[in-house]
Amino acid sequence: MSDQFTVRHPEWAANATIYEVNVRNYTPEGTFRAFEAHLPRLAKMGVVIVWLMPVHPIGTVGRKGSLGSPYAVQDYFAVNEEFGTLDDLRHLVQTAHELGLKVLLDWVANHTSRDNALITQHPAWYQYDAQGQLVPPVADWTDVVALDYTNPELRAYMLEALRYWVREADIDGYRCDVAGLVPTDFWDEARPALEAIKPVFMLAEWDELYPSGGLTWEEFNADTHLLEKAFDMSFGLRLHYLLDRIAEGQAALADIDTYLAAERAKYPPSVYLMHFTSNHDVNSWDGTETERLGPLTQPFAVLTALLPGMPMLYSGQEAGLNRRLAFFDRDPIDWAALPLQDFYTKLLQLKKRHPALRNGDAASNFQRLTTPDGLYGFVREKNGSAVIVVINATAEPLELPGQKMLVSPQKGLFDVFSGEALTLAQAKARQVPAHGWRVLRTRD
């Protein structure tokens, strides 16, 4: 299976967490410069990759809301003046690099706004219905129209547009919107074209939840092509929706094991999947973490941070964001308090520094712990250094039973959140509070 997976990840991605930035709503100003002031805080929190939602001018024809969707791109070679200038973006990227951060731009290759100049300049680059009308890629995406990647001139244009931002703004890669709606061979061509400039990281917004092209679910689930040559990582949407169902009482914690087994059967350990409890679509359309996950919000944040895969945070999660941000209008996040900053810092710094938590590391050992109903636990270990993770999905305190595991009962441990020194021989180390978690690491 693994022979077809040839992507070489940049080394800086090995212990990375990704952080999605909604520039429009991040600050009252809604600009690159205003957001840039937060970069030192994010670096201190343990973030490595900063993903900026689309930075391009937004179409006005068919615009939704007062400001439109950032995914309705009017010009691939320009910056949305709402956010600032190209020099402002360059300054943001330079500052990020000085702090040890990497920057991805959100790229919308599948469709454009209805007033993108390409429609009149190159009408053959678009898809049309039987009546000769431009068509949206999805019926209710009424503000955009679909591009036609059978046209080689369109492909050459889009490749040059992708190269432009790497050259001119020194970005470190792309998050590619609905990547599976664009032919895989285009992305396979784009990756080496970008690598010729500098090493990049490519994130595909895609997972098995998007069957298309007449494929059955079984056929689609066997399609791993995006992650074979072009992309470093795709969205772990199946885990996201599974956690939602567990919180609703529609699935069990043990179903996470089924998810992990299916992932391992499909992908080698080198492949990255991105895990999260929120993002821009989830927050605006499905609901806040509190709405969807209730008291399991933080326990599931622990899981998505420390299970195999790369964790992602969305703008405002560390501020305890508890409302749906407006998608098509200005709706600034309130940064007056950061109630979860320390929580996420402990998780992300552990992720960043611990050898057993490296992304895609085939040499790491993963052991699922035997747990009573209501608990879910595992150990990740490498070269004698281990992290033990247990969450409690119930309203009662529960105890992890003593068992043989990768960590000796007498091995010295630290509680990552309390800093307390413990061993597994102590019952105290195995107690997990109601709707809580224990994260223990070995003392090396």
Give rounded-to-5 percent helix, strand, coil for the chain: 35, 20, 45
Looking at residue 85, its amino acid is: T
- Two structure tokens written together for 153: 């001139």
DSSP-derived secondary structure letter, 28: S
Q: Which residue has the tokens 């990552």?
A: 416
Positive or negative, the CA dihedral 195, 197, 200, 205 is negative
Asked whether the beta carbons of 52 and 103 are under 8 A apart, the reply is: yes
* Residue-level pLDDT at 407: 80
* Residue-level pLDDT at 213: 43
Closest CA to 233 of 206, 209, 256, 257: 206
Give the CATH fold of the 2-360 domain. Answer: TIM Barrel (3.20.20)
Q: Which residue has the tokens 């597994």?
A: 424
Compute the C-alpha angle 290/346/432, nearest 5°: 65
Asked whether the beta carbons of 147 and 178 are under 8 A apart, the reply is: no
What's the CATH code, domain 366-442? 2.60.40.1180
Question: Which sequence spans correspond to the domains of the chain?
Answer: 2-360, 366-442
Strand 173-176 and strand 201-204: pairing?
parallel
Using a 10 angstrom Cβ sphere, with 0-12 exposed, 13-18 middle and 19 or more buried, the burial of residue 155 is buried
- Cβ within 8 Å of residue 394, ≥6 positions away: 374, 434, 435
Total residue count of the chain as it appears in this document: 444
- Two structure tokens written together for 206: 């895609």
Positive or negative, the CA dihedral 315, 53, 241, 272 is negative
- Two structure tokens written together for 224: 């791993």
* Residue-level pLDDT at 2: 61
- Cβ within 8 Å of residue 291, ≥6 positions away: none
Per-residue pLDDT of the chain (444 residues; tens, 9 = 90+): 567 899 999 999 999 999 999 999 999 999 999 999 999 999 999 999 999 999 999 999 999 999 999 999 999 999 999 999 999 999 999 999 999 999 999 999 999 999 999 999 999 999 999 999 999 999 999 999 999 999 999 999 999 999 999 999 999 999 999 999 999 999 999 999 999 999 999 999 987 544 344 444 344 444 578 999 999 999 999 999 999 999 999 999 999 999 999 888 888 889 999 999 999 999 999 999 999 999 999 999 999 999 999 999 999 999 999 999 999 999 999 999 999 999 999 999 999 999 999 999 888 899 999 999 999 999 999 998 999 999 999 999 999 988 778 888 788 999 999 999 998 888 888 899 999 999 999 987
* Residue-level pLDDT at 214: 46
* Residue-level pLDDT at 167: 98
- Helix/strand/coil for 184: helix
- Two structure tokens written together for 73: 């791109």
| Rounded Cα gap, residues 121 and 119, in angstroms | 6
- Two structure tokens written together for 76: 């691939």
